[in-house]
Every structure is written in C-alpha cells, then in structure tokens.
Amino acid sequence: MNTTSKAVLFTVGAYVVTLAIIIAIVAVAIVIVMSLSLGCSALGHALLVLWATIAGVCIASVIAVIVVMRKQTESGRIRTLLLAGYVAAMLASSVFFAFGLMVVFNC
C-alpha cells in the first residue's frame, strides 16, 4: 500500500473516530442536562460549554491529522487536498452539531 492510500485511510479513520467522540460527548451531555431541571439560562451556559468542547475536539483532531500528514505524504498537493477536505468535513460536522444542539436545547 502506497503512502497516499495510507494517508487517505488515516484521514477517513480520524474523521470517524472524531465523530464517535463528539457523539459520545453530546449524548452524555444531553442525558445529564435533561435529567436536571434547569432554566433557560442554565441550558444556555451548558450549550456554550458543549460547543466549546466540540470545537476543542475538532481542533485537536485537525492538528493531529496535520502532524501525521506531514510524516506520511511526500506530495504537497495530496497533503493540501486531504487537509482541505478534512478541515471542510470537520467544519461542516461542527456546524451540524451546533445547530442540532440548538434544536435539542430549545427553551
């Protein structure tokens, strides 16, 4: 298997693992917040903390992929395309979760 194939597989794997982590964090947060009887302001604070956590996970994932890509791929064009696709996918996923959480925590 050449280095480009390994890089693509790593990128897809990192995306799947990151989404699994985000989904687990969101599920636990929803269960905890819904089990408590909180007002809208407390839900707003919980949503802000959850958004920050999701953003932190996404940023850490992108940094990890950048570090590994520098070691795995020799071609700058392949590396740039993979990183651009990964960053776009992470941005789309974080926006999807942000708006989904706004619907869930609607007051």
Q: Give the global pTM.
A: 0.80
**Does the pLDDT at position 38 exceed 90?**
no
What confidence tens digit (pLDDT) does each residue in 51-101 have?
A: 888 889 989 999 999 888 888 877 788 888 888 999 999 989 888 887 877
If one compares 41 and 48, the residue with the highest pLDDT of the two is 48
Q: How far apart are CA 101 and CA 22, in angstroms?
A: 12
pLDDT at 107: 58
Range of the domain at 91: 3-104
Question: pLDDT class for 1, splitting at 50, 70, 90?
Answer: low
Number of residues assigned to the chain: 107
Q: Are 57 and 21 in contact (CB under 8 A)?
A: yes
Domain count, the chain: 1
- Contacts of residue 78, defined as CB under 8 A and 6 or more positions apart, other chains included, come to 4, 7
| DSSP sequence for 31-96 | HHHHHS---HHHHHHHHHHHHHHHHHHHHHHHHHHHHHHHHH---HHHHHHHHHHHHHHHHHHHHH
